[in-house]
């Protein structure tokens, strides 16, 4: 996947206290993604942009009609490093 396409899928990080706890405790990132993107596309975009291995992606649609993705990274990759790269930390 090309970087431009990946950035179209990932809109922005979701920065809440709960999301920060997930980064620390569960090695998960919480991202707001394109409403039409599926789990495979989100996984590919994260792997392309941040050079990490994704083990699982869960999504849900918020009451504001936005899609939120919970991206679990492998043990060998750090969600904290990716969050820092995104400017969350």
Taking every pair of C-alpha atoms in the chain, what is the biggest distance, in angstroms? 34
pLDDT at site 88: 76
Distances (CA, A) of 77 to 8, 32, 54: 23, 20, 9
Q: pLDDT-derived band of residue 21, with 50, 70 and 90 as boundaries?
A: very high
CATH class of the domain comprising 3-76: alpha beta
**What are the extents of the domains in the chain?**
3-76
pLDDT, tens digit (0-9, with 9 covering 90-100), for 37-53: 999 999 999 999 999 99
pLDDT, tens digit (0-9, with 9 covering 90-100), for 45-86: 999 999 999 999 999 999 999 999 999 999 999 999 999 998
Residue 34's CB is within 10 A of a number of other CB atoms, namely 16
| pTM of the predicted protein model | 0.92
């Amino acid at each position: 996947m090309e970087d431009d396409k990946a950035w179209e899928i990932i809109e922005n990080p979701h920065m809440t206290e709960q999301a920060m706890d997930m980064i620390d405790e569960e090695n998960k990132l919480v991202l707001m993604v394109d409403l039409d993107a599926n789990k495979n596309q989100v996984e590919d975009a994260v792997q392309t942009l941040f050079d990490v291995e994704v083990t699982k992606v869960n999504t849900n649609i918020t009451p504001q009609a936005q899609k939120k993705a919970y991206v679990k990274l492998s043990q060998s990759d750090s969600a904290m490093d990716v969050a820092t790269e995104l400017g969350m930390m």
